[in-house]
Structure 1
Amino acid sequence: MTSTGDSAPTEGTTDPPGPATDPTAPENSDPLFGPGALFHSFLNDPRWALAMVRATVLEAAHPQIGAALAENSTFVAHPWRRLRNTFMSVQRLFGADAGTRQREAARLNRLHARLTGTDAEQRPYDGTDPAARAWVVATLFESVVTMCRLGGQPLERQDMERLYAEFLAFHTLMGDPPGHLPARLHDFWPYFDRVVEEELENTEAARIILFRLFDHLPAPPVLNGVPTVWAAGRALAGPVIGAVTVASLPEAFRRRAGLAEVPGAQTLMQGAYLTVGLTRFLPESWLATENLAELLDPSPDSDSAPARTLAALQDRMKRAAALVRLMTPAVPAPWSSATAPDSTWGTAPEPASAATPRRESEEFFRQVLDQTGDGYLEWPDLAAMARELASRLDLDEPEETRLYRAFADWWRELQGALDTDGDGRVSAEEYAAAVPSLAGPALIRAAEVLFDVTDKDGSRSIDADEYRALFRTGFHRDPAATRTTYSRSAFIKDFLSFMSGRARSTPYDAVLVDP
C-alpha cells in the first residue's frame, strides 16, 4: 500500500516470502534462540535502552528506513506504545518457541510489505527491501557490541562470533535472501563501515530522534498525573540522552551528518553506560523485559508485582498532586455544569456553546486520528490504527487484511468527502466541519471485523465475557459491561460513535490515545 496522502492505498499487497525454517544448530552447540542464547542474556540489561536509541538513529539514517519512519511511524506521537510493541516483538522473535518466532516474523513481514512510498526527494522506499532490512539487523548487532564496549565489558572474540551467528539466524528467520549480510564476522566490519560512510544520511527521522523526540516526550503512565514533574525531569534528561547518543555514533557518520559534539560528551557517554550498567545488580524481577512492558501498558486485571507497583505509585502521585493544588489554590471562575467534566483546577471552562462540539472534534482529531502527530489526517494515520488494532488483537490472515482494507476504504471515503482544498490530506478544521458524515460503509466494515474476531463462538452476539476479553487481551482495558449480551448492531454502533468523534468516553478511547 502506498503511504502518500495524494493517492489512495492499493487494494492488495503480496506478502513477501514467509520466514525460512529456523537454522538448526549443530549438536551440542550453543542455541541460537531462547534462554541459552547470548543475545537473550542482554534483553534484560538496562544498557540495552541506550543501545536501542543508538541503533534506531542508525536505522533512521538509512534513506529508505528514514523515509518509511517519517511517513508511517507513530514513534513521535506515541513513543511509549512503540517501545512496548518493540519489547513484545523482540521477546517473540528471540524466544524459545519456534512457532511463536515464525508467527511474529510473518506478522512483521506483512507489516513491512505495506510500507511503500516515496521520500521528500521522490526516491522510492519499500519496507521489504532486503538491503534495508539487513541494515536493521546490522545496527542491532553492532549496537550490542558497542554497548558492551562502552560499558567496560567488551565481548571476547568467541562471544562476538556467537552473537553474530544468532543475528544471522534472526536474519534467516525473517525470510530475507542471503548475501545482504556478510556470512562471517570478519567481513561484517568492512560492510558496516562502508554503509556508514557511503549510504547513511542526516535524514529527517534521524534528526527528530536526536533533537526533537526527547524534548517533547509525553509522560509515561506512572507520571501521567504529574505533568510538571515530568516536564522538569525531561528538560534535564533530554539533552543528556541526546548528547550521549550523538557521542556514541560512529565518527564517520557524525562527520558526514555534521553533528556537533558537546565538549565532554565522550566522558558523559561512558559515564552514562557505566552508571546504567550498575543497575543490572538490582533484583532480576525489576529488570525483566516483560515487567517493563507491563509498566508501559498495564493490564487492568493483572495482579503482578509490576502492576501493583504501578498502581501504588500512581496513587501516591495523585495524592501529591492534590496536595500541591491545595497549597496553591486558584479562584475558580463561574462555570457551567454542562462543561464540568472537562474542567481543570484553577481554569474556568468555556460556557457551553455551539462551538463546543467543534472544539471537541478537533481535540479528538489531535488525540486519536492524527496518529503520526503531524497535524493532518492521511493514510499513514489510519494504517497505524489498523496496525495497532491488529497487533493488540493478535490477528492472523485473513482477518488482518480485512481490517487493513476496511481502513483503506475508510480513508478513501474521508479523503473524498473532507479534503476540500485538494491537498491530499485532511486538516483538523476540515474534519471538525464534517463530523456527522464520517460513519460510512467502510468504517462499518472495520467494526464488523472487530465483531467477528470477538465473537469466537460464532453465536452472532458478544456476551459480557467476550466483550471484556476483547478489551483485556486486545486493548489492555477493562470496560464495565452494561448488558449481558451485545448484538452486532449494538457493537458496531458503539464503535462508530467513537471513531466519528461523537462519543468521548468509550472503551476504545485509551487504545489509540495512549502515548
Structure 2
Amino acid sequence: MSRRAAVTIQDIAGEGIMLAAGGRAILLQVANRGVGHGVADHSDFAYRAVDRLRTTMTYIYAVVYGTDAERTTVVRMVNKAHAKVRSDDYSAFDPQLQLWVAATLYESAVTLYERVFGKLDDANADALYREYAILGTALQVPEGLWPRDRAEFAAYWKQQIDGFEVDGKVRAVSRDLFHPMRAPFFIRANLPAYRWLTTGLLPERLRQQFELPWNERDQRRFEWVMTLASWVYPRIPRVVRHAPRAVYLWDMRRRLRTRGSLSA
C-alpha cells in the first residue's frame, strides 16, 4: 500500500471546498467580542458581507501563494484598513485579536479538510500546524504568541470557545452575514443552504450563542451531506477543485494592477 503524501498548507488552502468553511471562520472570529464589536462599529457589514469573505480569502491566497511583493502589498493594505478599527475597548492591531482570527482560519480549514479527506497522521498534522502560523505572523502576531504545538492550541481553542458570550450587537453582525442587503442574485439564492452548512460546522455552544436553529434532523442531514462530500469531492480533478484559488488570485492581481488597491 502506497503511503499518503504529506499535505501542506498549499494543498489545503487551495481547495475550493474551503469556501464552505469561510462563513464558519467569520462567525468564530466575531464571537470574540473585540473582533465582533470592531466589525459592527467600523464595517458596513450589512452591505458588504460578501466582500468580507472575499477579503479573507484574498488575504489567505496572497500569503500562501502570492509573490513576496504581492504578500507585502496585501498585508500593508490590510493593516491600513485595520488602522481605523479601534476604540477604548479594542484595536484591530491587538496581537491577541489577530491571533484569534488566524486561529479560526487554521482550525476551520483543517476541520473541514479532515471531514472530507480523512484524518491526517500526527506528523503531518504537526507540520501543517506550524505552517499555518504564517497567517497570523504576516500581520500582528509575534511568532512566540502562536501556541507552541497542537496540544497547546487545543487548550487555547477550548478556553476561547468556552468563554465567549455573544451579545446582541455581535448577533446582528451574524444576521447580516446571511442576509446581506446587497449581493448578486445567485449568491442570495444560495445563502439559506450556506447558512445551514455554516451552522452545522459550528461548535454546538456557538450555535446556541448565535441563536441558530438546529435539531436532530438537521444533524442527520448534515452528517449525510458530509459523507457524500467525502466520497464525491476528492474524486474531482485537482485543477477543478483549485479553480476558485486561481480566480481569486487573478482578481487580486487585476485589482492591484488597475486600481492599486483591493477595493471593490
Secondary structure of 2:47's match? coil
Partner residue, 2:113: 148
- 1:267 is displaced (CA, Å) by 2.6
| Native 8 Å contact 2:98 2:140 kept in 1 | no
Partner of 1:289: 244
Which residue does 1:462 correspond to in 2? none
Contact 2:34/2:91 (<8 A) preserved: yes
| 1:139 positional shift | 0.8
User: Pick from 65, 70, 89: which aligns with 1:95?
Assistant: 65
Verify the 8 A CA contact 1:149 1:155 in the aligned structure 2.
Answer: yes
Q: Which residue of 2 aligns with 1:264?
A: 217
1:214 to 166, 170, 178: 178
Distance (whole Å) between structure 1 residues aligned to residue 69 and residue 192 of structure 2: 42
Structure 1: how far apart are the matches of 2:95 and 2:253? 35
Alignment of 1:362-377 (within 5 A): none
Q: Which amino acid aligns with 2:96?
A: A
Q: Distance in 1 between matches of 2:29 and 2:119?
A: 23
Is 2:28–2:104's contact at 8 Å kept on the other side of the alignment?
Answer: yes
The corresponding residue for 1:166 is 131
Structure 1 residues 284 and 215 mapped into 2: Cα distance closer, same or farther (>3 Å)? Answer: same
- The answer to whether the 8 A contact 1:115-1:127 is kept is yes
Q: How does 1:25-424 map to 2 (within 5 A)?
A: 38-95=8-65, 97-117=67-87, 124-151=89-116, 153-202=118-167, 204-209=169-174, 211-216=175-180, 218-220=182-184, 230=186, 234=189, 237-276=190-229, 278-279=232-233, 281-286=235-240, 287-293=242-248, 392=255, 394=256
Does structure 1 conserve the Cα–Cα contact (< 8 Å) formed by 2:46 and 2:179?
no
Contact 1:50-1:245 within 8 A present in 2 as well:
yes
Residues 54-110 of structure 1 deviation map (CA, whole Å, 9 limit, x = unaligned)? 011000111010011112224431344433333332222112633433443333223
Q: Which residue pairs with 1:313 in the alignment?
A: none
Superposition deviation, residue 166 in structure 1? 0.9
CA distance, structure 2, for counterparts of residue 150 and residue 142 of structure 1:
12
- Pair 298,170 (structure 1): closer, same or farther in 2 beyond 3 Å: closer
Alignment CA distance shift 1:106-1:73 (3 Å) = same
Query: Do the aligned partners of 1:214 and 1:238 also contact (CA within 8 Å) in 2?
Result: yes
Deviation, structure 1 residue 274: 4.5
Secondary structure in structure 2 of the residue aligned to 1:151: helix
Partner Cα distance (2:148, 2:9) in 1: 18
Answering whether residue 258 of structure 2 is matched by residue 473 of structure 1, we say yes
Q: What are the ranges of 5 or more consecutive residues in structure 1 without an aligned counterpart?
A: 1-35, 119-123, 221-226, 300-391, 395-471, 477-510
Give the AA of the match of 1:473.
T
Q: CA deviation at 1:131?
A: 0.8
Equivalent AA in structure 1 for residue 244 of structure 2: T
Q: 1:102 to 1:298 in 2, by over 3 A?
A: closer
C-alpha separation between the residues in 1 aligned to 2:108 and 2:221? 18
In structure 2, the CA distance between the partners of 1:149 and 1:270, relative to structure 1 (3 Å rule), is farther
Partner of residue 444, structure 1 = none
In the TM superposition, what is the alpha-carbon distance from 1:276 to its structure 2 partner?
4.9
Alpha-carbon separation, structure 1, partners of 2:165 and 2:65: 31
* C-alpha deviation, 1:164, in angstroms: 1.1
Is the Cα–Cα contact under 8 Å of residues 197 and 222 in structure 2 kept in the other structure?
A: yes
Task: Tell me the CA shift for residue 40 of structure 1.
Answer: 1.3
Q: CA RMSD in A?
A: 3.4
CA separation of 1:91 and 1:152: change in aligned 2, threshold 3 A: closer
For residues 133 and 238 of structure 2, the distance between their equivalents in structure 1, rounded to whole angstroms, comes to 28
Paired residues of 1:201 and 1:257 also in contact (CA < 8 A): yes
> CA contact under 8 A between 2:62 and 2:74: conserved in structure 1?
yes
The offset of 1:257, in angstroms, is 4.8
Higher relative contact order (CA 8 A, sep 6+): 2
Decide whether the 8 Å contact of 1:64 with 1:126 is kept in 2: yes
Go from structure 1 to structure 2 and tell me whether the alpha carbon gap of 1:175 and 1:84 turns closer, same or farther (over 3 Å shift).
Answer: closer
- Work out the CA distance in 2 between the residues paired with 1:131 and 1:167: 16
Secondary structure at 2:106 match in 1: helix
Larger Rg: 1
Given that residues 7 and 124 in structure 2 are in contact (C-alpha distance below 8 angstroms), is that contact kept between their aligned partners in structure 1?
no
CA distance in 1, matches of 2:167, 2:228: 29
Partners of 1:185 and 1:202 in 2: CA distance: 30
TM-score (norm 2): 0.79
Amino acid at match of 1:192: W
User: C-alpha distance in 1, partners of 2:26/2:140?
Assistant: 22
- Once the two structures are TM-superposed, the CA of residue 256 in structure 1 deviates from its matched residue by 4.6
C-alpha change, 1:295 and 1:109, in structure 2 (3 Å) is closer
- Percentage identity across paired residues of the two chains: 22
How many equivalent pairs are there?
A: 257
Is the contact made by 2:15 and 2:245 (CA closer than 8 Å) also made in structure 1?
no
- Quick check: 1:55–1:140 contact (8 Å CA) kept in 2? yes
Aligned equivalents of 2:34 and 2:108: distance in 1?
20
2-structure distance, mates of 1:473, 1:159: 40
